Amino acid sequence: MIQDIEPRIFDNNFKNRKPEAHDLFLSYDGDKVLVREDKDKLWYPSFSDFEEGHPNLMEKATFLFSIDDLSYYLTDEKALDSVEGWTYVSTSRFRTEPKYWRSFAGVVGWQLNRWYSNHRFCSRCTKPMAHSDKERMLYCESCGFQTYPTISPCVIVGVHNGNRLLLTKYAGRAYANYALVAGFAEIGETLEQTVKREVFEEVGLKVRNLKFYKSQPWPFTDTLLVGFYAELEGDDKITIEEDELALGVWMEREDIPPAELKISLTSEMMEAFRTRSFEL
């Protein structure tokens, strides 16, 4: 999955340190990220690449995280693609980059960029927010309000019935491949309750014998995905929630398409069922 970058080591511990010339920075323009345009991979800039045209770039950079001994920073400086050799490309590249450490760095940086951008002002008193120098936190010097990066729990459910797995397709989304039932946990709800509620709401089925598979950070949508397999209980008639899904079908194990992209928990769970690599 996208976070599996071994042998490289991702370290998200906050550090109150200034960047050095060899450190990398991430720059976003909406849903685009700055990369070297003559590379066939996500090649992020270092501060040394911009020393001549943007000598003060390091002074305004925000520390993000480290991968191995290399630190990554965030900058909100505009028009950096005016420097020859650099361009903004779609963040959809994070889904196709074969070197996961490059895509994971980019998408986690994008998640933090959205958080910083969405919390420039206090939601309680509207005054400007300040950056803590001790942890990854924003606070209001006026009223004392504090906020941390938002992470929403979401379940991914592989509903199975003997040799069949329930596959779905989303309604009204660009992503047209098969998926599994998924949904966010609500206030006052356990993850197990979320599984049963989402399955019933989306496809009209009841489930039992829930079995945890694994979890995954999914920075694309600020979520923590939690994967479960669940056995069908009772009637297998599918009634899809048309606002959410365009399709819901039972598919025999042997007919499930092999996973092409393996960055997501959904694709891994489908592949694990198809290949019988996870005991149910």
Token pair for 184: 């966010």
* DSSP characters over 118-138: HTSB-TTT-PBEEE-SSSS-E
- Average pLDDT of the segment spanning 102-108: 97
CB atoms within 10 A of CB 234: 9
- Average pLDDT of the segment spanning 267-276: 96
CA distance linking residue 191 with residue 211, whole number of Å: 12
DSSP state of 182: E
- Average pLDDT of the segment spanning 258-277: 92
pLDDT of residue 250: 97
Residue-wise pLDDT for 160-210, tens only, equals 999 999 999 988 766 678 999 999 999 999 999 999 999 999 999 999 999
Residue-wise pLDDT for 12-29, tens only, equals 999 999 999 999 999 999
- Average pLDDT of the segment spanning 132-138: 96
**Closest by Cα among 96, 262, 263 to 275:** 262
The structure's pTM equals 0.91
Which structural domains are found in the chain, ordered by start?
10-118 (3.90.79), 121-149 (no CATH), 152-274 (3.90.79.10)
CA distance linking residue 139 with residue 160, whole number of Å: 46
pLDDT of residue 152: 96
Non-local (6+) Cβ contacts of 218 within 8 A are 154, 224, 225, 264, 265
CA distance linking residue 169 with residue 11, whole number of Å: 35
CA distance linking residue 206 with residue 258, whole number of Å: 27
Say whether pLDDT at 2 is over 90. Answer: yes
* DSSP characters over 30-41: SSEEEEETT-SS
pLDDT of residue 174: 67
Instruction: List % helix, strand, coil for the chain (3-state, nearest 5).
Output: 25, 35, 45
**Closest by Cα among 251, 97, 116, 246 to 172:** 246
Say whether pLDDT at 111 is over 70. Answer: yes
Residue-wise pLDDT for 31-69, tens only, equals 999 999 988 899 999 999 998 888 889 998 999 999 999
- Average pLDDT of the segment spanning 214-222: 96
Lowest mean pLDDT among 39-48, 120-129, 209-218, 257-266: 257-266
